[in-house]
Structure formats: structure tokens, C-alpha cells
Amino acid sequence: MMKLKIYYNPDCSKCRATLALLEENGVNPEIIYYLETPPDIEELKTLLKQLGLGIREILRKSEAEYETLGLDDDSLSDEILFEFLCAHPRLMQRPIVVRGERAILGRPPENVLALIGEH
């Protein structure tokens, strides 16, 4: 099986549940503690392409930084949003699980089963 990566926050219940689900299915993914080593802009762009989502779709609107930074302003360019996300990785939806050229947001955790069922 191809190696999987999980962008992981140990304080997040969805991350813990997703990792447990992967392990229950015999998958031992590479764990990326993205709060300690945030992805750079190029890595974020690759993740979005793999997810098939736009930058605004992976922003956590419930985080205090979202409102404090004024990220609900539709006039902000994607490039500015990428910079904010790199500087404030807590704003990124999680967990994100990557396998090859595909990625899935583990919300709910069962979403990742589609990745581990592929051959």
C-alpha cells in the first residue's frame, strides 16, 4: 500500500479519531504536526489541488484568528489568504490525509476510508 500522510493536531478530536481509524485498518501514516511545522504556500497549494478545494474552503471560520484577521473580507486575494494560513496554521481545517496525488479532509473521519480502499 502507498504511504499515507496525515496533517495532525493532537488536540483535535477529529484528528485523533481519524488516526485511530487509519491504525485500526492497518495503516501507519506519516504524522505531520502542522502546528509545529506549518506547510509553506507551495505545499498548501498542492494540498488544495489534491483536495479539489479552494483556499476559503479549508479555513476554520470558528477560530478566533479568522475574525481577528478579518478573513471574512471577500476582497482578500487568495495569495493573502495563503500568507495568513502559513502564519496561522491553526486556521487550517484538519485532519487532511494524503495518499499519492489525492487528499481527503477527515471530517468526518470515515471520509479517509475512501483513500485506504484504493489500490
Which residues are known to be catalytic? Answer: 12
CA distance 19 to 106: 9
Can you give the length of the chain in residues?
119
Question: Which one, of 2, 1, 77, 93, lies nearest residue 39 by Cα?
Answer: 93
Locate cell 491553526: which residue? 90
CA distance 119 to 107: 22
CA distance 95 to 17: 10
